[in-house]
Amino acid sequence: MGSTNYPSSIFDSVEFSPYDDAFKVLAAFASDPHPDKVSLGAGVYRDDNAQPWTLSSVKKAIPLLPDNHDYLPFGGFPPYLEVSRELLFGDLIRELGDRLCTIQTVSGTGACHVGAVFLVNTIKPRTAWISDPSWVNHSVIWECAGPTVHRKFYPYYDSGSRSLDFSGMIGKLENEAEKGDVVILQACAHNPTGLDPSKSQWSQIADVCEAKGLLDNYDSQGFASGDPDEDAWAVRHFASRSSLEIGFAQSFSKNFGLYGERVGAFHLLTRNSSLKPAIQSQLVRIMRSEVSSSPSFGCRIVATVLSDDRLREQWQGDLKTMSARIRSMREALYAELQRLGTPGDWGHIVSQVSELTILQT
């Protein structure tokens, strides 16, 4: 057969972009006809029937929502913005005051992208530093938001010891990062390694960022332990250092089970409170150009749960249920590998933490 001739197009130069590994796993799962298949691709908490679990607190909140499908303000739903700030920063919120800008986004991915676009448009960083390995979307987000920004990687995972390569991380940032560079950090339940710095190590990272004049861009407040305050320690430690200016991406997908509702927020902390009106206006401008008004259903659920004492207490119980079950599943896997005499050291399965993330997406 002869070759098919297609007419020329102004898009002839467009190259195929390979799909990332996460997409490939999901596609393979969808096409596999096996009745007992199990998906290990998407970070979704599932029950014993492999179905996403609707949190009991969420079930109780939904009937309380108003029958209102009007547009939200461009900056987001005010009650949601208030509880998202309080959850992320706790009692520190009173000290941060007008130095903190917040805007609702389309989940944590949208928050990461809004933050990247804002930084590219304003401080124009030369380099964005990303952990090696990291969530696959971090590099893509910066590639799309700032094609001229160099994407460099700092060591994070030591495959030999299956542990955090902290000395490599600190050494790379101390020796090669330059003033004005952006450093992307994951606050809790690092994706994909499950390895987090200790509190002492987080303090050392903050020291380096202060000394080098680096801007930290946090991806998420993770929930691994079931204790929101404990898991937000790194975020609050950095925010308590008044010399640091920081971006925070936040997501309510996994810790509320609202994966498809895309509930997120981006927070920017600056040293100078007088800059808030200008910064807030630029964040609104970016969101206006991208989605105009964020979705309202999921954010109203979050606001309802977190502003009601009984529902919030139940939600915290839901978090503990999920985190405890994930730990028990890890322990069961480790025990079975030991029972079978599987070659190798599998201790990292129980020493790593699993992700119930607020800031990823």
User: Which residues are annotated as catalytic?
Assistant: 135, 219, 254
Task: Give me the torsion for CA of 79, 100, 267, 171, rounded to 10°.
Answer: -150
Distance, CA of 32 to CA of 302 (rounded, Å):
35
Tell the burial category of 289 from Cβ atoms under 10 Å away from its Cβ (0-12, 13-18, 19+): exposed
CB atoms within 10 A of CB 229: 11
* Residue 125 backbone zone (phi > 0: left; psi -120 to 50: alpha; other: beta): beta
Q: Are 192 and 138 in contact (CB under 8 A)?
A: no
Q: Are 301 and 56 in contact (CB under 8 A)?
A: no
Specify the DSSP element, H or E, that contains 163: strand 163-164
Distance of CA 200 to the CA centre of its chain: 22
- DSSP one-letter string for 260-319: GG-EEEEEEE-S-GGGHHHHHHHHHHHHHHHTSS--SHHHHHHHHHHHSHHHHHHHHHHH
